[in-house]
């Protein structure tokens, strides 16, 4: 149209028209974790990786690909029973909390934190409603441990379902402790530097 002007791309989401990965990431995070919705404020914890935050966001909305949900979508499955216990139909709540194998892991995590595992329910499981005698940082760390525990429970459920690998409660607690320490310590250190 304009023979004397060069063609160029312009990104409308940026004030100066140039594309920025940082700006795109910010826009995506605002859409995934909107700060104006009080129900979603607890979906953000700077002490865990983004993949764990996304896992929690999906779990709270019961959007994990459990067998009962896959069956509802017409996927032909041999069984919809839990791949860990084989006793109940697998739902998000069952796979993350109610399964007898998973419950044993949560009891060990709660014992580690001197928290009564009887207080665990799916509604408060991933929201960080932990020990009330903790500081704000302590509650944030507890939430990170909960999220990491749920993430590892789900990951290892998949390993059992697809690779036939087993995961015992003592091994689970050890892996949860190591990964929690590693991820939380690195992120706490990064927060002090900035």
The answer on pLDDT for 165 being more than 90 is no
**pLDDT given for residue 192 in this prediction:** 56
**Binning pLDDT at 50, 70 and 90, where does residue 117 land?**
confident
Q: Does the residue 30 lie in any domain?
A: no
Of residues 37, 69, 66, 51, the one with CA closest to residue 147: 51
Q: Indicate whether 147 belongs to any domain.
A: yes
- 187: buried, middle or exposed (CB in 10 Å: 19+, 13-18, 0-12)? middle
94: in domain = yes
Mean pLDDT of the chain: 82
Backbone angles phi, psi at 172, to 5 degrees: -60, -45
- Report residue 25's pLDDT band, with 50, 70 and 90 as the boundaries: confident
Query: Domain count of the chain?
Result: 1
Q: How confident is the model at residue 103 (pLDDT cuts 50, 70, 90)?
A: very high
Does 135 fall in a domain? yes
Torsion of CA 125, 116, 140, 152, to 10 degrees: -50
The answer as to whether 23 is a domain residue is no
Domain residue limits at 110: 45-193
In a domain, 100, yes or no: yes
What pLDDT, in 10s, does the model give residues 48-71?
999 999 999 899 888 999 999 999
- Model confidence pLDDT, tens digit, residues 118-158: 777 777 776 666 666 677 788 888 889 999 999 999 999 99
Does residue 9 carry a pLDDT above 80?
no
Residue 104 to residue 166: CA distance in whole angstroms? 14
Q: How confident is the model at residue 41 (pLDDT cuts 50, 70, 90)?
A: very low
Do residues 150 and 96 lie in contact, with contact meaning Cβ atoms separated by under 8 Å? yes
Does the residue 164 lie in any domain? yes
- Residue 10 within a domain: no
């Amino acid at each position: 149209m304009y023979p004397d002007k060069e063609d160029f791309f312009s990104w409308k989401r940026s004030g100066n028209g140039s594309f920025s990965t940082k700006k795109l990431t910010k826009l995506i995070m605002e859409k995934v974790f909107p700060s104006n919705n009080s129900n979603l404020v607890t979906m953000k914890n700077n002490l865990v990786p983004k993949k764990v935050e996304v896992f929690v966001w999906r779990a709270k909305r019961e959007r994990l690909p459990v067998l009962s949900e896959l069956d509802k979508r017409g996927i032909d499955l041999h069984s919809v029973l839990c791949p860990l216990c084989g006793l109940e139909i697998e739902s998000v709540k069952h796979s993350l909390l109610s399964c007898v194998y998973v419950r044993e892991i949560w009891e060990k995590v709660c014992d580690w934190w001197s928290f009564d595992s009887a207080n665990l329910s799916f509604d408060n499981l991933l929201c960080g409603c932990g020990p009330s005698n903790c500081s704000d940082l302590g509650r944030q760390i507890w939430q990170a441990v909960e999220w990491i525990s749920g993430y590892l429970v789900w990951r290892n459920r998949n390993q059992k379902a697809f690779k036939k690998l087993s995961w015992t409660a003592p091994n689970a607690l050890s892996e949860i402790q190591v990964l929690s320490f590693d991820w939380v310590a690195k992120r706490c250190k990064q927060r002090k530097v900035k």
